[in-house]
């Protein structure tokens, strides 16, 4: 018996020594791959896996599971990944309600969480955690930039609308944080609503000079198509979510000319981005989206930390992540005191290139923007 | 709120209502005649929308897209009736719910497999793409007006079919006593397949018409399905007239609730509070309506108790 244990130990030591000095890193990716919103998860996954493939690092293993956009399933998957798969790092969640269900528990168990999308305010302020890093944005950021752009565009009387749920309320709060004009109206729709005839009639009657809306996914497609058909031609501003590569083809001409705010666009002229856009298209045969760029950056952040520190040395690995020493596709990127990005947020315009609808960068709406909650974070 | 805005909102409510009627009519026919709860009805709506988007995209013709939607949804309906649904008539409702829920998952993943995860594009036909000017200077989207017209025409055709034709007589008889009409020599299997395909085609048509206004994506049928169930509960199960009245009532309640409630609260509360309370209450308005109807008429407005 004793001999056997010794042998096992020796064998174990030999194999780990053979693999190099670093412990391999196991990543659990929980993301939305089926049902509504699957397009977002698929883009995050594809972006992430592209970076993993390009790095060719044998010490990185990724397990991918589908949360079906359901918080209870996301929690089960996280438990399974932490307990039986023994992952070191979790990532992948798209939606804020799922993020809230998984992240606090995962970080409390000593796992790292790298968010490629969801950035709820609760995790940026008092609920911040040293092991939680957001590689996308704080939820308010793109809306704040839309508000800043509205001032620049000379809007004085905006009609603002969003669905009646936490991210919708955050969106309008974010817009109002920077927007200086008056409000022609403020409206909360039902979440998942697809008919906006009533809201559009009110916009027409309100005397507004512009419209800001945050309606994620199919809601935004419906709104834009109906808005275009209604004959109301006030300028529209929104966050990139409703104008991203994955859904622009479904909106079609109705989106042309709309200004939207984003921390990334495919035409950003930095070497990392040029290479990313080209290799993503070559690999998957479609243009990358915002979400794909976020997945790609998340993987590269992780790889940069793996090059500097061992994942079993939590302190060192955390410090290596915090340095954010990787070439982000969005250009300058660093972490603020609450491990959320400090980055430029751009204004884009929807254009048509051949028969593909896409975005063109117009300029910077907010420079080196952190977020409104960083001061509340104590860590 | 001006009178013009109010009229416009009534039209919006009407348009939403006729859309719901197309969904609820098929659902209530199937339930009334065959006693089957079909949760997959929303999937047939999705099939119609996807078929319309694919064919309109390939040919550039919206009319061909509509025809494809009708054909695809009717074919999908007939296919699942013959292969699966037929085995469920004699089972209890729980089995039906389980089996048709499984069909939702199969349709959703099947559609994703064929068309991918990203929403498809279906455009309003060019001739109907702008607004039209109605009396009193009301600007109203031409396409929505066309939907109201199509919906009312189909409602009229359905009433005629049920009330005046031989097949209508068989449907009504099958609703009342299925052994009797089988004994009278009606091919009940064929009748059921026909009714199911008809209901499916109506759902497919609704999906295609709405697809041009909204997004054509996987899972688009489920929210509509819930509303269609509310409609048949309000109208009375199995009654086409009930489905019609229920759908219009629900469409008007939802649309007017969304616009009037925040305004009404605005007279007593401060604006942001009024918006929040009004919007919250507006989301519940149709369910409050349903509860109200059920208190006074437990079997729905036109249901036989």
What token pair was written down for B54? 């694919």
Interchain CB contact of B284 with A (< 8 Å): no
Using alpha carbons, select from B177, B232, B164 the residue that is nearest to residue B199: B232
Question: What distance in Å separates the CA atoms of residue A138 and residue B168, rounded to the nearest whole number?
Answer: 59
Please tell me which residue of chain A has the smallest CA distance to B1.
A205
Interchain CB contact of A230 with B (< 8 Å): yes
For A319-347, the pLDDT digits (tens) are 999 999 999 999 999 999 999 999 999 99
Whether residue A69 is found in the same domain as residue A156: no
Kindly report the average pLDDT of chain A as a whole number. 90
Which position has the higher pLDDT, B39 or B130?
B39
Interchain CB contact of B143 with A (< 8 Å): yes
At A229, which CATH number?
3.40.50.2300
pLDDT at B238 > cutoff 90: no
Shortest distance between the Cα of A240 and any Cα of chain B, in A, equals 16
Question: Closest to B121 (Cβ–Cβ): which among A38, A230, A252?
Answer: A252
How far separated are the first and last CA of chain A, in Å rounded?
47
Question: What distance in Å separates the CA atoms of residue B93 and residue B80, rounded to the nearest whole number?
Answer: 17
Whether residue A298 is found in the same domain as residue A222: no
Count of structural domains within chain B = 1
Interchain CB contact of A195 with B (< 8 Å): yes
Q: Which residues touch A258 (CB under 8 Å, ≥6 apart)?
A: A224, A236, A237, A238, A243, A349, A350
**CB contact (8 A) between residue A218 and residue B217:** yes
pLDDT at A133 > cutoff 60: yes
pLDDT at A269 > cutoff 50: yes
CB A238 within 8 A of CB A146: yes
Place of tokens 């925040």: B262
Question: What distance in Å separates the CA atoms of residue A202 and residue A185, rounded to the nearest whole number?
Answer: 9
* Phi, psi (deg, nearest 5) at residue A231: 85, -5
Whether B202 is covered by a domain: the verdict is yes
Mean pLDDT over B82-95 rounds to 90
Count of structural domains within chain A = 2
Interchain CB contact of B263 with A (< 8 Å): no
What is the pLDDT, as a whole number, of residue A19?
42
Lowest mean pLDDT among A300-304, B176-180, B210-214, B237-241: B176-180
Question: Closest to B119 (Cβ–Cβ): which among A186, A205, A250?
Answer: A250
What is the pLDDT, as a whole number, of residue B268?
82
Question: Domain span at residue A224?
Answer: 140-262+346-374
CB A244 within 8 A of CB A330: no
Q: Which residues touch B280 (CB under 8 Å, ≥6 apart)?
A: A164
Number of cross-chain residue pairs from A and B with Cβ atoms under 8 Å apart? 126
Whether residue A289 is found in the same domain as residue A315: yes
Whether residue A248 is found in the same domain as residue A146: yes
Interchain CB contact of A201 with B (< 8 Å): yes
Lowest mean pLDDT among A246-250, A309-313, B156-160: A246-250
Q: Which residues of A touch B215 (CB under 8 A)?
A: 194, 217-218, 221-222, 225, 247, 250
Question: How much is the pTM?
Answer: 0.80
Whether residue A234 is found in the same domain as residue A286: no
pLDDT at A17 > cutoff 50: no
Question: What distance in Å separates the CA atoms of residue A135 and residue A168, rounded to the nearest whole number?
Answer: 21
Interchain CB contact of A205 with B (< 8 Å): yes
Whether B273 is covered by a domain: the verdict is no
Lowest mean pLDDT among A3-17, A330-344, B228-242: A3-17
Whether residue A173 is found in the same domain as residue A299: no
Whether residue A84 is found in the same domain as residue A214: no
Lowest mean pLDDT among A7-16, A44-53, B35-44, B86-95: A7-16
Whether B248 is covered by a domain: the verdict is no
What is the pLDDT, as a whole number, of residue A1?
45
Question: Domain span at residue B79?
Answer: 3-218
Interchain CB contact of B139 with A (< 8 Å): yes
Interchain CB contact of A194 with B (< 8 Å): yes
What dihedral angle (degrees, nearest 10) is formed by the CA atoms of B105, B110, B116, B117? 0
**CB contact (8 A) between residue B213 and residue A221:** no
What part of A 244-263 touches B (C-beta under 8 Å)? 246-247, 249-253
Strand arrangement of the beta sheet that strand A25-31 belongs to: A60-66, A25-31, A89-91, A112-115, A132-134
Whether B231 is covered by a domain: the verdict is no
Mean pLDDT over B94-108 rounds to 93
Q: Which residues of A touch B220 (CB under 8 A)?
A: 194, 218
Question: Closest to A218 (Cβ–Cβ): which among B220, B271, B275?
Answer: B220
pLDDT at A237 > cutoff 60: yes
For chain A, percent of residues with pLDDT exceeding 90:
72
For A169-183, the pLDDT digits (tens) are 889 999 999 999 999
pLDDT at B181 > cutoff 90: no
Whether B147 is covered by a domain: the verdict is yes
Lowest mean pLDDT among A227-231, B36-40, B150-154: A227-231
What is the pLDDT, as a whole number, of residue B141?
87
Whether A19 is covered by a domain: the verdict is no
What token pair was written down for A50? 């592209």
Whether B98 is covered by a domain: the verdict is yes
CB B247 within 8 A of CB B235: yes
Whether residue A83 is found in the same domain as residue A121: yes
Question: What distance in Å separates the CA atoms of residue B267 and residue B269, rounded to the nearest whole number?
Answer: 6
H or E element, residue A31: strand A25-31
pLDDT band at A18, cuts 50/70/90?
very low
For A79-130, the pLDDT digits (tens) are 999 999 999 999 999 998 899 999 999 999 999 999 999 999 999 999 999 9
Mean pLDDT over B91-108 rounds to 92
**CB contact (8 A) between residue B280 and residue A164:** yes
Shortest distance between the Cα of A249 and any Cα of chain B, in A, equals 6
Whether A2 is covered by a domain: the verdict is no
What is the pLDDT, as a whole number, of residue B260?
85
Whether residue A105 is found in the same domain as residue A131: yes
Whether residue A244 is found in the same domain as residue A172: yes
Using alpha carbons, select from A210, A213, A146, A139 the residue that is nearest to residue A178: A146
Using alpha carbons, select from B86, B17, B44, B85 the residue that is nearest to residue B234: B17
User: Strand B131-134 vs strand A60-66: parallel, antiparallel, or unpaired?
Assistant: unpaired
Whether residue A216 is found in the same domain as residue A277: no
Mutation for testing the A interface, residue in B214, B219, B222 having most A CBs under 10 Å: B214
pLDDT at B166 > cutoff 90: no
For B10-25, the pLDDT digits (tens) are 999 999 999 999 999 9
Question: Closest to B144 (Cβ–Cβ): which among A188, A194, A197?
Answer: A197
Whether residue A131 is found in the same domain as residue A150: no
């Amino acid at each position: 018996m004793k001999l056997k244990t010794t042998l096992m130990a020796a064998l174990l030591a030999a194999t780990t020594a053979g693999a190099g000095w670093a412990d391999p890193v196991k990543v659990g990716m929980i993301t939305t791959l089926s049902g509504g919103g699957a397009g977002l998860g698929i883009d995050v996954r594809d972006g992430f896996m592209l970076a993993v493939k390009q790095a060719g690092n044998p010490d990185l293993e990724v397990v991918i599971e589908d949360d079906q956009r359901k918080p209870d399933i996301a929690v089960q998957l996280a438990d399974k990944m932490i307990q039986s798969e023994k992952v070191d790092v979790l990532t992948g969640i798209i939606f804020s309600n799922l993020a809230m269900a998984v992240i606090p528990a995962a970080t409390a168990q000593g796992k790292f969480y790298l968010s490629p999308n969801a950035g709820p305010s609760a995790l940026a302020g008092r609920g911040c955690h040293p092991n939680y890093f957001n590689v996308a944005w704080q939820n308010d950021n793109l809306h704040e930039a839309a508000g800043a752009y509205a001032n620049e565009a000379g809007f004085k009387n905006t009609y603002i609308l969003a669905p009646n749920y936490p991210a919708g309320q955050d969106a309008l709060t974010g817009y109002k944080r920077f927007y200086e004009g008056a409000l022609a109206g403020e409206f909360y729709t039902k979440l998942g609503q697809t008919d906006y005839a009533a809201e559009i009639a009110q916009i027409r009657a309100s005397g507004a000079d512009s419209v800001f809306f945050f309606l994620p996914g199919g809601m935004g497609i419906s709104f834009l198509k109906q808005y275009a058909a209604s004959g109301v031609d006030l300028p529209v501003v929104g966050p990139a979510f409703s104008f991203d590569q994955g859904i622009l083809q479904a909106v079609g001409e109705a989106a042309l000319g709309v200004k939207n705010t984003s921390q990334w666009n495919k035409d950003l002229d930095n070497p990392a981005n040029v290479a990313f856009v080209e290799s993503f298209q070559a690999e998957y045969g479609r243009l990358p989206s915002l979400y794909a760029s976020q997945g790609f950056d998340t993987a590269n952040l992780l790889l940069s930390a793996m090059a500097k520190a061992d994942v079993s040395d939590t302190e060192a690995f955390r410090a290596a992540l915090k340095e954010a020493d990787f070439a982000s596709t969005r250009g300058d990127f660093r972490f603020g005191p609450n491990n959320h990005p400090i980055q430029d947020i751009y204004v884009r315009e929807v254009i048509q290139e051949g028969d593909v609808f896409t975005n063109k960068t117009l300029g910077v709406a907010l420079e080196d923007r952190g977020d409104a909650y960083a001061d509340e974070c104590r860590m | 709120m001006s009178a013009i805005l109010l009229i416009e909102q009534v039209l919006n409510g009407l348009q939403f209502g006729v859309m719901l009627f197309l969904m609820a009519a098929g659902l209530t026919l199937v339930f009334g005649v065959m006693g089957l709860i079909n949760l997959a009805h929303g999937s047939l709506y999705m099939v119609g929308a996807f078929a319309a988007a694919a064919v309109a995209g390939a040919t550039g013709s919206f009319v061909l897209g509509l025809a494809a939607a009708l054909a695809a949804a009717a074919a999908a309906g007939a296919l699942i009736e013959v292969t699966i649904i037929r085995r469920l008539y004699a089972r209890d409702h729980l089995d039906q719910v389980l089996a048709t829920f499984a069909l939702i998952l199969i349709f959703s993943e099947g559609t994703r497999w064929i068309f991918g995860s990203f929403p498809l594009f279906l455009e309003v036909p060019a001739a109907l793409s702008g607004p039209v000017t109605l009396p009193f200077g009301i600007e109203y989207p031409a396409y929505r007006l066309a939907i109201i017209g199509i919906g009312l025409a189909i409602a009229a055709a359905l009433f005629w079919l049920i009330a005046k034709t031989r097949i209508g007589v068989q449907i009504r008889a099958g609703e009342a006593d299925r052994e009797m009409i089988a004994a009278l020599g009606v091919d009940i299997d064929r009748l059921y397949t026909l009714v199911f395909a008809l209901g499916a085609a109506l759902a497919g048509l609704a999906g295609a018409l709405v697809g041009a206004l909204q997004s054509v994506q996987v899972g688009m049928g489920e929210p509509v399905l819930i509303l269609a169930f509310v409609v048949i509960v309000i109208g009375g199960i199995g009654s086409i007239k009930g489905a019609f009245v229920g759908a219009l009532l629900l469409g008007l309640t939802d649309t007017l609730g969304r616009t009037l409630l925040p305004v009404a609260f605005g007279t007593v509360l401060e604006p942001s509070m009024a918006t929040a309370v009004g919007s919250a209450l507006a989301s519940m308005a149709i369910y409050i309506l349903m509860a109200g109807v059920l208190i006074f008429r437990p079997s729905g407005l036109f249901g036989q108790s």
